[in-house]
């Protein structure tokens, strides 16, 4: 028996949920984000594959998405509906003889010991489709990283396998930012060390990379280049690590008093979400997007974990006070990070 890890990734999840409950939208370009107003200064949460053909993608300003695909159907995000749909899928996965580790609304790892993981992957896809009407891609690997990277080759709706034997043949010559966990900024720092590809990263000295990117993160990035990951899944239910709220303003805020008032209002909404979770908060963060599109985040660790709305609001205002005040603000966000109970 061989230990396999399967990464289940639901295709165009938010858009697919909307198309499921609005069958007339099937096959049409659908864009989900903000309040659904394409003229609002919000960003795309998910675009259907039909919309992606026009160049629309997650994180794109809604206004730009509307210019690229004016015939798209723009819908507001409906988080409760997505949570219900996610729970349906995860319930299906748990009926298989696997260990299920949920890592988000639309993602889960499966741990399975057997000899034909592709057969299991196709069975999972068929059952999810039959029971929920949603499609998923399945990445197969001998650990979590390789399985997750394989999913990128499987989407949409396919199955792909990457193991230690095929890791470098598949990814070795690709740029380092191809790897899950390495962004553009980190890739730029690696490039300064002469590390441009996955193979070069795998061959690099962990201590040398650590000298540039930190003693903890340097060796971690090298391990990514070598395709290292976990083989043991945790079957505990998915628990959000934080709750956050944010808003994009129709017009930039120039008055800092107005900024602080909005931070207080966001903190109050976050406090309501925290109360619903019935968990204590260990850290509070604030995100500020200055005009035209410069984003900065700051956070503070609370002296004592709490769910007290007044304490959370005071912490958010304290963090907000650390930002510069000489630029107009187009977006604000407040985040509460829960105590890690693991």
Active site residue 18: no
d(CA 56, CA 84): 26
Sheet holding 136-141, edge to edge: 99-104, 107-114, 2-10, 136-141, 159-162
> How far is it, in rounded angstroms, from Cα 60 to Cα 273?
27
Structure tokens at 254: 């120039």
Q: Are the beta carbons of 297 and 320 closer than 8 angstroms?
A: no
Closest CA to 271 of 241, 312, 306: 312
- In sequence order, which residues have a C-beta less than 8 Å from that of residue 273 and are 6 or more positions away? 243, 245, 336
Q: Rounded distance, CA 198 to CA 127, Å? A: 35
- Tell me which of 18, 50, 107, 262 is the catalytic residue: 107
What amino acid positions are annotated as catalytic residues?
107
């Amino acid at each position: 028996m061989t230990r396999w890890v399967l990464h289940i990734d639901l295709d165009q999840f938010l858009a697919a949920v909307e198309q499921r409950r609005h069958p007339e939208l099937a096959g049409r370009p659908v864009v989900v984000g903000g309040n659904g107003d394409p003229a609002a200064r919000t960003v795309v949460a998910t675009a259907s594959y039909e919309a992606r053909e026009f160049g629309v993608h997650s994180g794109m300003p809604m206004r730009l998405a509307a210019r690229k695909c004016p015939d798209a159907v723009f819908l507001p995000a409906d988080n409760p509906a997505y949570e219900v749909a996610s729970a349906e899928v995860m319930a299906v996965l748990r009926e298989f003889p696997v260990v299920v580790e949920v890592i988000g609304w639309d993602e889960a790892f499966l741990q399975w010991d057997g000899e034909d993981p592709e057969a299991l992957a196709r069975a999972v896809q068929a059952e999810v489709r039959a029971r929920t009407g949603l499609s998923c891609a399945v990445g197969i690997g001998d650990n979590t990283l390789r399985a997750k990277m394989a999913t990128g080759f499987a989407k949409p709706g396919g199955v792909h396998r990457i193991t230690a034997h095929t890791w470098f043949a598949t990814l070795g010559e690709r740029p380092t930012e191809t790897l899950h966990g390495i962004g553009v900024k980190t890739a730029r720092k690696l490039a300064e060390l002469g590390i441009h590809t996955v193979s070069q990263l795998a061959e690099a000295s962990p201590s040398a990379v650590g000298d540039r990117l930190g003693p903890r993160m340097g060796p971690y990035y090298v391990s990514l280049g070598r395709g290292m990951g976990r083989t043991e899944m945790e079957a505990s239910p998915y628990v959000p690590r934080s709750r956050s709220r944010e808003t994009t303003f129709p017009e930039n805020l120039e008055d800092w008093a107005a900024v602080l008032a909005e931070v207080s209002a966001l903190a109050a909404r976050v406090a309501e979400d925290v109360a619903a979770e019935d968990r204590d908060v260990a850290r509070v963060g604030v995100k500020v997007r200055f005009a035209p599109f410069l984003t900065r985040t700051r956070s503070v660790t609370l002296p004592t974990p709490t769910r007290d709305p007044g304490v959370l609001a005071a912490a958010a205002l304290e963090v907000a006070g650390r930002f510069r005040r000489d630029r107009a603000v187009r977006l604000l966000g407040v985040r509460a990070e829960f105590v890690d109970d693991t």
